[in-house]
Amino acid sequence: MAQEVVNSDEVVLGEEIDHVRLITLNRPRHLNVISSKVVSLLAEYLEKWEKDDKAELVIIKGSGRAFSAGGDLKMFYDGRNSKDSCLEVAYRMYWLGYHIHTYKKTQVALVHGISMGGGASLMVPMKFSVVTEKTVFATPEASIGFHTDCGFSYILSHLPGHLGEFFALTGARLNGKELVAAGLATHFVPLEKLSDLEKCLISLNSGDENAVKAAIEEFAMEVQPDEESVLNKQSLIDECFSKDTVAEIIKSFEAESTKEGNGWIGPVLKGLKRSSPTGLRITLRSIREGRKQTLPESLKKEFRLTINILRAIISEDVYEGIRALTIDKDNAPKWNPPSLDNVGDEKIDQVFQLFEEDLELQIPEKEEHRWDGKYENSPYASLKVTD
């Protein structure tokens, strides 16, 4: 088979092996976090291969011990004093998110290790997503003053009951078995068999969905969540996380924590109370809106939220959260406002405010123009040139 490999020092590797295309996220020392360059290369490969009749199957994996830990938080922090320094990468990521969800070729994600936030947006929407006993998923953005993004305000809100609110607000982790049970992954394959599965899929040399599914099932195991899994606590989660406000959710959750057999709630509750009040309020509203939105509507909303949060129009919590977690690593953020009582509805409304139509994320409505709406054709690109 003909094999074309790009520069192995690149942050995303693209290989063309007859009818198979292989993407490797290649920042192992940084847990394959998603930078501006990563997003640009992913978009370039995926558009090229969707339009290439010879390309039938696209496989994506991460190098090292992680799939992807999500967005590059240092990139956001370093840009805090430069106007809209991360607008381009946010625009490109959410625009790409739509194309990943609606991709025309068969995709398989081979996911080991950490798959969090934006990194998981390269896993969950795939036709086939394969996880292992080492896979760890979470959407912990609210805890640092951000919001559940990259399509997850849509994805999580469509989980059964109020699991969406629970995972978005608490950043609770799911393992491989739980991901399959929750419908966020399609197959569980033991890590020791993952490289053999990859070789098998490359040898299959086909994008036929039934053939790909059968190949994966040769390696897959039937799994169930462990007895203590949060997925087995859904009635309690629904009772608490269906409440109207974050404050009421915490109060209800706190009441349940005192009951026999609910010792698991303590650490989760502690994390919830330490999270950014502003981030929690934005996230709850976003998840609730996502339940009634289409995917494009959710992505457009998430783009607005991201830009307004990074512009710090109501709070600088996101930068304080990143500082405490990854810069100074003191894990002692000083939130402003410091409590839920001080985060007014009118402030939250500001973050959700619509942009002028041409400044919204441009998601193509017509199939024949599905790769239109790129950042470079948006007003933001020309504004950047004139700044």
Residue among 196, 79, 188, 170 at smallest CA distance from 128:
188
Please confirm, yes or no, whether 71 is among the known catalytic residues. yes
Please confirm, yes or no, whether 149 is among the known catalytic residues. yes
Would you give the DSSP letter of residue 113? S
The interaxial angle of helices 277-290 and 163-170, nearest 10 deg, is: 150
Which is catalytic among the residues 72, 141, 317, 320? 141
DSSP H/E element including 198: helix 191-204
**Tokens (6 digits) for 37:** 């360059």
C-alpha atoms less than 13 angstroms from C-alpha of 194 in its C-beta half-sphere: 25
CB 299 within 8 A of CB 98: yes
Which is catalytic among the residues 56, 72, 149, 317? 149
| Dist CA 296 CA 22 (whole Å) | 27
The end-to-end CA distance of the chain, in Å, is 49
**Tokens (6 digits) for 289:** 């809106």
Which is catalytic among the residues 70, 97, 113, 118? 118
Please confirm, yes or no, whether 118 is among the known catalytic residues. yes
- What is the amino acid identity at position 323? R
Which is catalytic among the residues 14, 62, 71, 207? 71
Please give the radius of gyration of the chain, using alpha carbons only, rounded to the nearest integer.
Answer: 21
CA torsion sign for 334, 340, 341, 347 is positive
With 0-12 / 13-18 / 19 or more C-beta atoms within 10 angstroms meaning exposed / middle / buried, residue 195 is exposed
Query: Angle 176-302-281 (CA atoms, 0-180°, nearest 5)?
Result: 85
Would you give the DSSP letter of residue 221? B
Residue among 119, 109, 29 at smallest CA distance from 69:
119
CB 220 within 8 A of CB 187: yes
Task: Report DSSP letters for 281-329, one per residue.
Answer: HHHHHHHHHHTTS-HHHHHHHHHHHHHHHHTTSS--HHHHHHIIIIIS-
| Dist CA 86 CA 17 (whole Å) | 34
Phi first, then psi: what are they for 255, rounded to 5°?
-60, -40
| Dist CA 237 CA 252 (whole Å) | 10
Active site residues: 71, 118, 141, 149
